[in-house]
Amino acid sequence: MRGGRYALRAGEFLVSRACRRLPAAIRQERYQEWLAELPVILRDRDTGPAPWRVVRMLAFAADTLRGTALAADAYRGAHRGAAAKSTAAKSIRWLGTGLLLLAGLLGCALVLLAYEGAIIYQLTVGPNLAFSVTLVLVNLGFIAVGRSRRWASPGRRWYPVSKIVAGAGLSIRAMAGPAGWGHPLLFAIISYCVYAISVVCLAMAVVQAVRYLSRLRHPGQGPGQQPGRATS
Amino acid sequence: MRMTAPLERVFRVFLDDPAAQRYGYDLMKAAGLASGTLYPLLARLQARGLVASAWETPQHDGERPRRYYRLTGEGIEVARLELAQLSARRRRGPGRRVRPAPADAR
């Protein structure tokens, strides 16, 4: 089959993505197992004509992705506690997704209202407020979405939390300045703190981008290495 | 283990020939399940000791070894029991459940 090889590669890619969600101890084993099924599906003449077999093979590979995303606990030796825990994690992730959507809608609405002049403050305050409120919601969303994975360790949680603090500070400043709340010095201090946090966040973002790029150049050294290249 | 429709189908496929060793793809075809449903299910069954798996030796050069599954002795017993209970529940039907009458009803 002419396109079979490319389809097989696409299938292998999907399976490797699926296996990245699995615990390291079983990742390689599952990768080998699923990879071995792909050519069998392509050769299975009972399934139908060649294009249909390609579709079937890709569907198999894509569905492993769904399986590892939704039932990762099953591969870790499922028991009731783990299942309940994973349900809670899923709910929090959905909450995070909701927050992200809300942040997007709110951000768009506030920016539109500000530029239409419908917002009560001056033209510059609306976008500031929109930006800062969106910043808070987006980072809350990110924490909730990735709670069970990337931000699980407290050491990694400081980054979005500091952005939330920065966003909250900016929100207060954006609202308080024109409304004449509190002492100006207080808001000046808040502003400086927010700027300091923003600079640190920006520096950390640069460091993370550099680390990510170096990991791309030297695959197999980070935790997200491809299962096919893993050594046991 | 809660008896779900996919689990019932997998048990039925295995019990067609309990001694047979089945590959994941064969099970998928026979049970009509997608890979994302079947493999987590097999992993759960394996964690409970109801299913055992082993790697086959490839017969041709360049072929990848495939993994096959079979029910364990305990798995066969549990599968038969669960399917029998399910059939009994279905025969009784949802509306014909016998409930004890309250004491003051007599």
* Contact predicate A171/A136, CB 8 Å: yes
User: Quick one: pLDDT at residue B3?
Assistant: 85
Q: Testing the interface with A: which of B4, B26, B29, B39 to mutate, by most A Cβ within 10 A?
A: B39
- CA dist A150 → A71, B16, B24 (Å): 18, 44, 31
Flag whether pLDDT at B96 surpasses 90: no
What is the share, in percent, of chain B residues with pLDDT greater than 90? Answer: 60
* Contact predicate B33/B45, CB 8 Å: no
Instruction: Summarize pLDDT for A150-181 with one digit per residue, the tens.
Output: 544 555 566 666 666 666 766 666 666 655 66
- Three-state SS for A65-91 is HHHHHHCHHHHCCCCHHHHHHHHHHHH
CB atoms within 10 A of CB B74: 13
- Per the prediction, chain A carries an average pLDDT of 70
pLDDT: which is higher, A139 or B90? B90
d(CA B1, CA A80): 9
When pLDDT is cut at 50, 70 and 90, the band that residue A130 belongs to is low
User: Quick one: pLDDT at residue A230?
Assistant: 41
Mean pLDDT throughout B62-88?
A: 91
User: Quick one: pLDDT at residue A24?
Assistant: 83
Whether ipTM exceeds 0.90: no
Contact A32 B37 (CB under 8 A): no
When pLDDT is cut at 50, 70 and 90, the band that residue A51 belongs to is confident
Flag whether pLDDT at A148 surpasses 50: no
**Tokens 């309250």 sit on residue:** B102
What is the share, in percent, of chain A residues with pLDDT greater than 90? Answer: 12
Q: Testing the interface with B: which of A14, A64, A68 to mutate, by most B Cβ within 10 A?
A: A64
Within 57-116 of A, beta carbons closer than 8 Å to B belong to 59-61, 63-68, 70-71, 74-75, 77-79
CB of A34 within 8 Å of a chain B CB? The answer is: yes
Flag whether pLDDT at A229 surpasses 70: no
Half-sphere exposure of A50 (CA within 13 A, CB side): 7
- Name the residue in chain B with its Cα closest to that of A83: B44
d(CA B84, CA B72): 18
User: Quick one: pLDDT at residue B67?
Assistant: 93
* Contact predicate A142/A157, CB 8 Å: no
The four Cα atoms B90, B94, B100, B105 give a dihedral, to 10 degrees, of -150
Determine the length of chain B.
106
d(CA B20, CA B52): 12
When pLDDT is cut at 50, 70 and 90, the band that residue A142 belongs to is low
Flag whether pLDDT at B44 surpasses 80: yes
- Per the prediction, chain B carries an average pLDDT of 86
Q: Read out DSSP for A158-169?
A: HHHHHHHHHHHH
Residues of A in contact with B23 (CB under 8 A): 37, 40
d(CA A177, CA A140): 25
Determine the length of chain A.
232
Q: Which residues pair with B36 in a beta bridge?
A: none
User: Quick one: pLDDT at residue A70?
Assistant: 79
Give, as one character, the DSSP assignment of residue B70: E
Tokens of A195: 């700027």
Mean pLDDT throughout B35-62?
A: 89
Residues of A in contact with B39 (CB under 8 A): 30, 34, 64, 67
pLDDT: which is higher, A161 or B36? B36
User: Quick one: pLDDT at residue A223?
Assistant: 42
Mean pLDDT throughout A46-70?
A: 88
Instruction: Summarize pLDDT for B2-35 with one digit per residue, the tens.
Output: 888 999 999 999 999 988 889 999 999 999 999 9
